[in-house]
């Protein structure tokens, strides 16, 4: 089941460049098969967006319950030397929770130029202090609109992943896994990306 409601006040224009202020809420609920069994999953969120006179402000809060894909995680599965493949960690219990949000602003200060700033954060397994992980990203960006159908974008992402409650790792096995998770999180570097969008 999927449902969405929204309300908007339109300032002018239409289509993807419509200037308006909008608020919305959505809910998605169902089951997903994994390992031959169906598991419940719920996703929902609320958000708002403002766009007028070259200024864009938007944000959304989302939460999840039930089956949650966590991440590739140690211990690693040896599929034959020298190849190693991480094991996908999927939390299947109906009590699992996650939540996150983003805030996004943009300013088109000239007809062909725009600067952007975004912050997003995602916390997984918030129902378990031992398993909880938090990923956050600051994104600094710029866009050049060569024509109505051709756009260039450049983004720099400052990324971070944390083990939220290392004090919850009590046994030696938990401490070993927690240390591995911290090493993996600490290895996540910043990212620079370039993109061209051509509408044809």
pLDDT digits 0-9 by tens, 103-140:
999 999 999 999 999 999 999 999 988 888 899 999 99
What pLDDT does residue 78 have? Answer: 54
User: Phi and psi at residue 135, in whole multiples of 5°?
Assistant: -115, 135
What pLDDT does residue 143 have? Answer: 97
pLDDT band at 14 (very low <50, low <70, confident <90, very high): confident
Give me the mean pLDDT over the 52-58 stretch: 95
Q: How many other C-beta atoms can be found within 10 angstroms of the C-beta atom of residue 131?
A: 22
What 3-state DSSP class applies to 176?
Answer: helix
- Cα gap 106→117, rounded to integer Å: 6
Q: Residue 183 pLDDT more than 80? A: no
Q: Residue 93 pLDDT more than 80? A: yes
Please tell me the number of Cα atoms within 13 Å of 9 on its side-chain side: 3
Task: Note the pTM of the prediction, 2 decimals.
Answer: 0.84
What DSSP string runs through 28-70? EEEEEEETTEEEEEEEEEEEEEEEETTEEEEEEEEEEEESEEE
3-state helix, strand, coil in the chain (%, to 5): 10, 70, 20
Picking from 7, 114, 104, the residue whose alpha carbon sits closest to that of residue 53 is 114
pLDDT > 90 fraction of the chain, expressed in percent and rounded: 60
Give me the mean pLDDT over the 4-15 stretch: 90
Q: Residue 180 pLDDT more than 90? A: no
- How remote is the C-alpha of 95 from its chain's centroid? 21
Pick the residue with more confidence: 173 or 141? 141
pLDDT digits 0-9 by tens, 63-88:
999 999 887 655 555 555 555 555 66
Preceding omega of 82 cis (within 30 degrees of 0)? yes
- Cα gap 186→176, rounded to integer Å: 15
Please work out, in degrees rounded to the nearest 5, the angle formed at the alpha carbon of residue 121 by the alpha carbons of 196 and 76.
90
What pLDDT does residue 15 have? Answer: 78
What pLDDT does residue 200 have? Answer: 86
pLDDT digits 0-9 by tens, 25-48:
999 999 988 888 999 999 999 999
Q: What's the mean pLDDT when you consider all of the chain? A: 88
Eight-class DSSP state of 168 = G
Give me the mean pLDDT over the 153-178 stretch: 83
Instruction: Return all residues near 67 (Cβ < 8 A) that are at least 6 apart.
Output: 32, 34, 39, 40, 41, 90, 91, 92, 96
Give me the mean pLDDT over the 159-167 stretch: 87
């Amino acid at each position: 089941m999927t449902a969405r409601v929204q309300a908007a006040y339109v300032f002018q224009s239409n289509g993807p460049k419509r200037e308006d202020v909008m608020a919305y809420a959505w809910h998605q609920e169902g089951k997903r098969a994994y390992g031959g069994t169906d598991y419940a999953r719920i996703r929902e969120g609320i958000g708002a967006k403002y766009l007028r006179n070259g200024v864009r402000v938007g944000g959304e809060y989302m939460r999840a319950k039930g089956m949650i894909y966590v991440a590739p995680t140690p211990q690693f599965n040896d599929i034959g030397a020298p190849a190693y493949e991480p094991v996908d960690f999927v939390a299947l219990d109906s009590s699992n929770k996650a939540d996150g949000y983003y805030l996004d602003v943009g300013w088109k200060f000239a007809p062909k130029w725009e600067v952007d700033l975004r912050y997003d954060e995602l916390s997984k397994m918030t129902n378990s202090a031992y398993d909880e992980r938090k990923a956050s990203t600051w994104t600094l960006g710029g866009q050049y609109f060569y024509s109505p159908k051709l756009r260039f974008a450049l983004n720099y992402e400052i990324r971070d992943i944390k083990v939220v409650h290392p004090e919850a790792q009590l046994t030696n096995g938990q401490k070993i896994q927690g240390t591995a998770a911290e090493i993996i999180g600490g290895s996540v570097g910043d990212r620079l990306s370039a993109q061209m969008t051509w509408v044809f």
